[in-house]
Structure 1
């Protein structure tokens, strides 16, 4: 019998663990009743939680040997948690799911059907609707438009990390070993035949979201830098245009001095122009510095996470 491995990143999700487990078990029981039989195993990744998340996972482990966990020494972030899950999970098929049930387990039978009957390598999920404020909605929409213009790979708007993948697909994702990871981009970069299914967004089963607006903005910037060199090209063009305009201005000043004589008037505008040019230079240096920082972290060859406990 084929096995589905479930990767479940967790950070301070104590109230959600048991609710998630019960819902997944219900879905697989219904599949069994409909003569769709798969073994399944859980890989909970405890990302340095400060609550009793790990204890809740251990309780499940006591009663179900198919429950496994990896517990980090500290919080390394969701990207590292998903990476740990992919590196440890077994099974013929692998699913990445959020423990808060915003990724409905009830979609699994449909996802399996697309892979088995329509020969897809991966089935991803896209939220059709989601309750969020105007600022977040605008920034999210803008991010996908920008990154798809800049990147060589297309990342579908509102796509979730929730997806079901074949073992071949997972093995190829694992070949990408970079330290700086933007998994949505990595999933798109490896290619393969992909199907997206849409569903209405649902509320968290318990607990609260740990993603602040600042963290989302930082994550978006990470994605753009990791999967595009367009910002570097923009910096080059901005620098070139600034130099060209400055050269024209210099020629104009020299000609005016020769033809009409010098003048001390206009120094406020001159100072403003100098500050503007310096601002452009610092902006370009910031872009270059961001890429250099990424290179610096890659060359350190630090592990993406450190495991404190595993079973």
Structure 2
């Protein structure tokens, strides 16, 4: 087998209709990359004929390929991690089996990585040939994601990326089951290059990226990367406490001046207003300590060294 320089990782789930076009696209990529590319196909518990089609075609492929099969559907991000761990190249790229991201994008990733222009290349959508409702939902989703999770996230979101071996190794060390692979890419840092493209129309099948999965992904990302909900509790508690003092003063004055004649009304309102908002503030403070403990439990490194140099002189 010829030396492998480039590894293309493809998660496969309900993609039987696009398998022939996918294999043809991979063949063309292999030729464009001087015959130094391998494909790592990860069938993520797909219930259709995707595995059978790939297994039947495997021995006749022009390019080196690995076919890995998950015992059930774990999700696209675990499938990507499986592929990255098994890949044998020096540069790695991730593409979708539905071919909505053009193969030329992966070639651009590999060229930038090989030229040492960056450690991680990220595909950013400048447009997408999807239905109007799908585009609107995507814009809302990624808009919230930028505001709540990763402020550096491109407006169109991120689905595919490429990286070198140093970045791949660091990414695989972050073993978090309920997290976001894309957010981890931005958290790691390194030298980054954004490569723009237009997302193509899906020709076969229906996307498995449902509203339920989007909500779960957003929740995983928020709880794994930001303490925004806790800060929101603290702010609401602090603002509510200040407001309760003002309202409490108004109730007390009204009670003293005789405008409130219901027995016990003033005392009840003062207690409810004060302790209700104080409870919010207390939850926020306790949540802050819980968040810090949770952050430590993830065991992410305190810093990541992406480059190291030294001269050859021995210390005198």
Taking the aligned partners of 2:173 and 2:24, their CA distance within structure 1 comes to 34
For 2:174, what is the secondary structure of its paired residue?
coil
TM-score (normalizing by structure 1): 0.78
Cα distance change of structure 1 residues 279 and 15 upon mapping to structure 2, 3 Å threshold: farther
Residue 243 of structure 1, CA deviation:
2.8
Taking the aligned partners of 2:127 and 2:11, their CA distance within structure 1 comes to 23
Taking the aligned partners of 1:5 and 1:118, their CA distance within structure 2 comes to 17
Is 1:44 the counterpart of 2:45 in the alignment? no
Taking the aligned partners of 2:56 and 2:278, their CA distance within structure 1 comes to 56
Residue matched to 1:16: 18
Residue matched to 1:215: 213
For 1:16, what is the secondary structure of its paired residue?
helix
Residue matched to 2:310: none
Residue matched to 2:111: 113
Taking the aligned partners of 1:246 and 1:78, their CA distance within structure 2 comes to 48
Residue 240 of structure 1, CA deviation:
2.2
2:81 is aligned, of 63, 80, 83, to 83
Q: Could you list the runs of 5+ residues in structure 2 that have no partner in the other structure? A: 299-316
Higher relative contact order (CA closer than 8 Å, sequence separation 6+): 1
Residue 285 of structure 1, CA deviation:
7.3
Tell whether the 8 Å contact from 2:122 to 2:162 is kept in structure 1 after alignment: yes
TM-score (normalizing by structure 2): 0.77
Residue matched to 1:56: 53
Tell whether the 8 Å contact from 1:136 to 1:213 is kept in structure 2 after alignment: no
Tell whether the 8 Å contact from 2:4 to 2:88 is kept in structure 1 after alignment: no
Higher mean displacement: 256-265 or 168-177: 256-265
Taking the aligned partners of 1:198 and 1:57, their CA distance within structure 2 comes to 30
Residue matched to 1:32: none
Q: Could you list the runs of 5+ residues in structure 1 that have no partner in the other structure? A: 30-34, 301-311
Q: What root-mean-square deviation, in Å, do the aligned CA atoms of Structure 1 and Structure 2 show? A: 3.6
Q: How does 1:1-311 map to 2 (within 5 A)?
A: 1-29=3-31, 36-64=33-61, 66-117=64-115, 119-133=117-131, 136-151=134-149, 154-264=152-262
Aligned length: 285
